[in-house]
Chains A and B, each alone.
Chain A
């Protein structure tokens, strides 16, 4: 177990390292000088040169990369124009927004978390529940309804569902306010009413897919010998289905859920664009548009951290859920 964890964390670190190097190289392969994006069109040459110097763009690539990484771990001193000393998770200074990138991230990360976590809870409960029920009631009208729901949901697009929800609930019925983010600690009701459309549309599309997957897995598990054995030795149906079958059927669902949630935490670009909410995804898109190098780098890295961590977590969950899995 411990050995597996160490091995897994090592390969995760290696992956993150490769992602950071690739991202770094990609943006320095830019034919455009990254500095021109960082100050307005009528920037004078002296200022450009100063910015270039402050960013360390005149240093060799390896030194720049090492400086950046050192900043994340221990913090580093940036020039006075970049807000002076930058504390431990230092992600650099953005000339576009004129603030430390870590401050930007600290502001937008809660937004994305507030969108993704409730939506993920909703879609997992709804999706897996629906899949289980339709597998256990195979062939009934309930099953057909669930299949129809999942086929439709899997073919719909988030921006379309979101647009229809906006038209109906915000612009016509006026039941909900125009989507926006309020901190849950300030006003939980406003927090929920501002984000509920985003949750519902994400949950609708994802649960369709999860219902389909968990139905197929459950049907497969139900036909296995150990389920029959459990029933034959007199175990009650709820126990067999709820404990024995569910455990075996849910492992592929966990894998995909890990990838999906990890990916979504890195920024739900489409959801945020559709509902006009400024989260991590929109921030990344805006940063790319304005050529805001430090912010792009930070958002890509954070997204990668979420995906990699989710993968490690999935492997650990496997062992906890399925007794047949042994970690080596």
Chain B
């Protein structure tokens, strides 16, 4: 039952009834305003008009001050319900409007437009194959080694069992300097460099450049990249050589790749082998492709090292060495027909690897 009070003006007045009316009115107006707002911006304006410091609904809320304590619970409950409805309506309308505005925004988007441009970068294909080969070999317990590219004859030839009158040693195929030094013709020089500086066991790889006095054409460069490997220890066998290189080449070319070893000749290994991998291309008969050279370290190499250092570190050791050309690897992997593409650095070529 409503309690009726006499106001100062002498009119009996029911607070409860009056507030109920005002609350209902404010709520209705607020909801109408919310419904009217047809953009997120207008809805925000509506929110300020309703719930801001001077907002219509805020004013009604301020009326609670004058409500006698006895009636506060009733009026308070009413006000709470109304405020809840206004908040809910605001939220619901906001969601609605955001969805509508999103729709408007995306309506104009042409997804078939080309991308904006960023400067594109990437690695050279030789770096890519080098990194991959190095990654596999390091997983197999090889660590990296290095040596100078300007070498002396001893490290490039004599140490590697290629004496002065050897057919492989020819000033026309080698870049010499007036100092008598030369540009190394193979990364195998690093074998000699490492062994003269440390005791066995040795288990190293060396990615690096080598130089031959070849005219540059579609299949030849005068400077090329290789990875050299060397493992020297007690009782290293041909089986170890085979196991190591089979694992390496399968990791590089895929597990299904067949690998074969053909006897060959290199002065610094004996026996020596060339390694072929069998490549399969759709619609073609499988082909054997020569990919690397390897062999058991020639005991003469150990003797040369020991006699140079004066330490008898390598007698009784056995080991294997291998070398693989990175240009060839890249050419096979990506079907590159002309080796010169690898030195011309044409962005139209390089971008294919980005």
Is the pairing of A and B real?
no
